Amino acid sequence: MDKRFKSIIIPKWKINSAVKKAAKWVDNNYPANEDVVLIGLLKGCIPFYAKLMSYIKRDIETDFMVVSSYRGADRAQGLPNIVTDIKTDIKDKHIILVEDIIDSGYTVKYVMEFLKQRGYKSAKVVSLLNKTEKRKIQFEPDYYCFLVPDKFLVGFGLDYQEKFRNVPYIAELKRGDK
Ligand code: IMP
Ligand code: MG
C-alpha cells in the first residue's frame, strides 16, 4: 500500500474494464453517420478521456474545455468559470461531455447551459465517478462508471492541490494530508 493513501478505492484493472464498457455505450448510442464530439473538461478528464477514446470504435471528433470549479467555501464566490472554450463547431452534432467526477453537479450543469445556444443535436454527460451524497442541484450524468462515497479522492485525473493526477488508480488521501 502506498504510504500517501489511506486506501485504494478503485484498482486499475476495475477502471480499465469499466472504461471499456463506457466506450461500448458510446458506440451503441449514436447512429454511425452522425457526428459525435467528445468534449473533455481539463485537467481531471485526461486519463479517463484518453482511455475512453482509445476504446471507442466509431468516428469521433475531439475537443476540450478548461473550467475552473470553485470548491468548498470558495463556491460562494461564484459560478464555475469557462477559462478555455472549445473550438469545434458543434451545430447539429452530438456532444458528449467527459468528466472525472460529478460532485455538487454545478460544474457540468453550468457547462451544459453554456453550450446550449450552439445548436447541438444532443448533449450527454459521461463521468468516471459519480459522488451523489453532496449533490446540490438536480443533475445525473447519462453514464458513469462508478458510484463513490463522499470521501476526498485522488488519482486517475483527480488531484489534491494539482498532485496525484498521475496515480493509475483511485485512492483516498490519508487524513492530515488535506
Ligand atoms: P462539482 O461542480 O461539485 O460537481 O465538482 C466537480 C469537480 O470538483 C470535479 O471536476 C473535480 O475537479 C472536483 N472534485 C469533486 N470531488 C473531488 C474529489 O473527491 N477529489 C478531487 N476533486 C474533486
Ligand atoms: Mg474536474
Give the chain's largest Cα–Cα span. 52
Report the pocket of ligand 1 as residue ranges, CB < 6 Å: 44, 69, 71, 99-107, 131, 152-154, 158
What pTM does this model have? 0.94
Q: Tell me the one-letter amino acid at 114.
A: F
| Residue 1, pLDDT score | 79
If one compares 163 and 75, the residue with the highest pLDDT of the two is 163
| Residue 69, pLDDT score | 78
| Residue 34, pLDDT score | 98
**What secondary structure letter does DSSP report for 94?**
E
Partners of 102 in the β-ladder:
130
What is the tens place of the pLDDT at every residue in 1-45?
789 999 999 999 999 999 999 999 999 999 999 999 999 999 999
Residues less than 5 Å from ion ligand 2, measured at CB: 44, 100
CA distance 171 to 150: 13
| Residue 80, pLDDT score | 87
What is the tens place of the pLDDT at every residue in 88-142?
999 999 999 999 999 999 999 999 999 999 999 999 999 999 999 989 899 999 9
What is the tens place of the pLDDT at every residue in 147-176?
999 999 999 999 999 999 999 999 999 876
CA-nearest residue, atom 22 of ligand 1: 158
